[in-house]
């Protein structure tokens, strides 16, 4: 009698990547309930500085306050849904570019143009606040009125990150890539190293593929691989290891000697996403910074080609669902299990 073998795990079916109904569930049940990374607080360093963004079709503005805290509001005037003038620095007020309603930078309605103050209750028409958390110099928001505790995931992330002293890293620049693939295609690709020898020849030359490792935690995972010091594009270090954090649903932390990089993967529609790279460096010269960014850009463009090709194939009648390696793709399985559970 033959020995039975465990069947491989099935991946998410193709319609998870091509059908709008799944993206709507992901936005409503995951993104609008999760702590989302917006970017480095260094972008708004002075009182009145503003960071205007839209994330999953929600227009927001982060504002540095007089007490140096940061508050986030919907970038929507309470009169008739206009937006504010996109002035990025040293604002004394937020002014609606539709009818001119004016708010203080802490969200209080100051001048309801077209109305006598006796007609309305200004306190009821303040800007709608969004929960905001500053952690290790990064701005996070949560759209829920009663969000889950930030520490539920990030206390564990912080413990794993503790040896890397992120407070020493200084924000350098932002680079964004628009990609014709579902946001999960990009995450699936990031979450395994099995493709590295095939897709990334230069990275494979720099990294010892045999050392590649994945550790799983609740709502995040960490991949790592040893770097060849003689070929590495990164700063010299006694710890020549690259670490790749994936914090669900859509945050990536990439740590290499001398460099900390965050990625935000934002769905634009079911077949397109944008990935924002923020680069931070620790005592690294301009030449090393440029070499690092150029190397990262090379890897990113290789990934984009693969992800866009996979997205096209997921729309074909020739593919329904795939299988996941229990040895090399445990990060993919962990993420896809999270998606299924969070939208069930």
Same domain, 206 and 253: yes
Q: What is the CATH number of the domain that holds 293?
A: 3.90.380.10
Q: What is the pLDDT of residues 14-69, one digit of tens each?
A: 999 999 999 999 999 999 999 999 999 999 999 999 999 999 999 999 999 999 99
Could you give the CA distance from residue 92 to residue 136 in angstroms, rounded to a whole number?
Answer: 27
Same domain, 112 and 197: no
- Confirm if 277 and 176 have CB atoms less than 8 A apart: yes
Same domain, 68 and 175: no
Give the per-residue pLDDT at 28: 98
- Is a pLDDT exceeding 50 seen at residue 3? no
* Of 125 and 240, more confident: 125
Same domain, 121 and 46: yes
Beta-bridge mates of residue 70? 64
CA dihedral (222, 227, 233, 234) positive or negative = positive
Report the percentage of the chain scoring pLDDT > 90.
87
Same domain, 184 and 44: no
Cβ partners under 8 Å of residue 143, min gap 6? 32, 33, 58, 130, 131
Same domain, 107 and 181: no
**How large is the average pLDDT for residues 284-307?**
95
Q: What is the pLDDT of residues 66-96, one digit of tens each?
A: 999 999 999 999 999 999 999 999 899 999 9
The burial class, CB within 10 Å (0-12 / 13-18 / 19+), for 249 is: buried
- Is a pLDDT exceeding 90 seen at residue 344? yes
Residue 23 lies in a domain: no
Residue 22 lies in a domain: no
- Is a pLDDT exceeding 90 seen at residue 8? no
For residue 174, give its domain range.
10-15+160-343
What spatial distance separates the first Cα and last Cα of the chain, rounded to whole Å? 39
- Is a pLDDT exceeding 90 seen at residue 2? no
Residue 197 lies in a domain: yes
Last residue of a domain, one of 142, 171, 206: 142
Residue 132 lies in a domain: yes
The position carrying tokens 């917006």 is 38
**How large is the average pLDDT for residues 131-160?**
96
The Cα-based distances of 182 to 146, 275, 314 in angstroms read 29, 11, 10
- Is a pLDDT exceeding 60 seen at residue 13? yes
Residue 211 lies in a domain: yes
Q: What is the CATH number of the domain that holds 50?
A: 2.102.10.10
Same domain, 167 and 135: no
**Given pLDDT bands bounded at 50, 70 and 90, which one contains residue 233?**
confident
Beta-bridge mates of residue 54? 59
Torsion of CA 233, 235, 237, 239, to 10 degrees: -50
Same domain, 136 and 171: no
Could you give the CA distance from residue 218 to residue 189 in angstroms, rounded to a whole number?
Answer: 20
Residue 337 lies in a domain: yes
- Is a pLDDT exceeding 50 seen at residue 329? yes
**Given pLDDT bands bounded at 50, 70 and 90, which one contains residue 229?**
confident
- Is a pLDDT exceeding 80 seen at residue 279? yes
Structural domains counted in the chain:
2
Same domain, 201 and 328: yes
- Is a pLDDT exceeding 90 seen at residue 283? no
Could you give the CA distance from residue 235 to residue 226 in angstroms, rounded to a whole number?
Answer: 14
Give the per-residue pLDDT at 165: 85
Range of weakest confidence among 11-15, 206-210, 271-275: 206-210
Give the per-residue pLDDT at 5: 63
Residue 73 lies in a domain: yes
Average model confidence (pLDDT) across the chain: 95
Q: What is the pLDDT of residues 93-116, one digit of tens each?
A: 999 999 999 999 999 999 999 999
- Is a pLDDT exceeding 90 seen at residue 195? yes
User: CA gyration radius for the chain?
Assistant: 22
Give the per-residue pLDDT at 4: 46
Last residue of a domain, one of 111, 142, 173: 142
**How large is the average pLDDT for residues 142-151?**
96
Same domain, 188 and 324: yes
Same domain, 236 and 282: yes
CA dihedral (143, 145, 147, 150) positive or negative = positive
The pTM score is 0.95
Cβ partners under 8 Å of residue 230, min gap 6? none
DSSP letter string over 49-117?
-EEEEEETTEEEEEEE-TTS-EEEEES--TTTS--B----S--SEEEBTTT--EEETTS-EEE-TTS-T
Last residue of a domain, one of 91, 115, 142: 142
Give the per-residue pLDDT at 262: 98
**Given pLDDT bands bounded at 50, 70 and 90, which one contains residue 191?**
very high
Residue 2 lies in a domain: no
Same domain, 241 and 120: no
């Amino acid at each position: 009698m033959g020995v039975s073998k465990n069947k491989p795990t099935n991946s998410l079916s193709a319609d998870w990547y091509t059908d709008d109904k799944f993206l709507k569930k992901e936005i409503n049940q995951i993104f609008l309930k999760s702590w989302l990374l917006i970017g480095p607080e260094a972008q708004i360093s002075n009182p009145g500085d503003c960071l205007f963004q839209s994330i999953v079709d929600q227009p927001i503005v982060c504002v540095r306050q007089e007490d140096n805290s940061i508050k986030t509001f919907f970038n929507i005037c309470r009169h008739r849904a206009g937006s504010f003038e996109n002035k990025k620095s040293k604002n004394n007020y937020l002014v609606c570019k539709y009818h001119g309603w004016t708010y203080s930078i802490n969200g209080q309605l100051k001048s309801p143009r077209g109305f006598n103050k006796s007609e309305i209750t200004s306190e009821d028409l303040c800007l709608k606040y969004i929960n905001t958390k500053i952690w290790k110099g990064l701005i996070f928001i949560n759209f829920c009125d009663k969000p889950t505790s930030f520490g539920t995931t990030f206390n564990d992330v912080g413990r794993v990150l503790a040896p890397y002293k992120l407070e020493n890293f200084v924000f350098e620049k932002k680079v964004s890539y628009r990609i014709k693939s579902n946001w999960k295609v990009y995450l699936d690709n990031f979450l395994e190293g099995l493709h590295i020898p095939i897709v990334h020849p230069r990275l494979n030359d720099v990294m010892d593929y045999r050392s590649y490792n994945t550790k799983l935690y609740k709502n995040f995972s960490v991949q790592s691989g040893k770097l060849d010091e003689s070929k590495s594009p990164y700063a010299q270090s006694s710890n020549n290891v690259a670490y790749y954090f994936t914090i669900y649903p859509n945050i990536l932390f990439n740590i290499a000697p001398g460099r900390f990089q965050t990625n935000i993967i934002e769905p634009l529609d079911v077949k397109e996403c944008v990935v924002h790279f923020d680069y931070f460096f620790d005592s690294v010269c301009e030449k090393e910074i440029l070499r690092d960014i150029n190397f990262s850009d090379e890897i990113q463009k290789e990934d984009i080609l693969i992800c866009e090709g996979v997205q096209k194939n997921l729309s074909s009648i020739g593919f329904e669902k795939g299988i996941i390696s229990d040895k090399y793709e445990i990060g993919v399985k962990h993420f896809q299990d999270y998606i299924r559970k969070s939208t069930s």
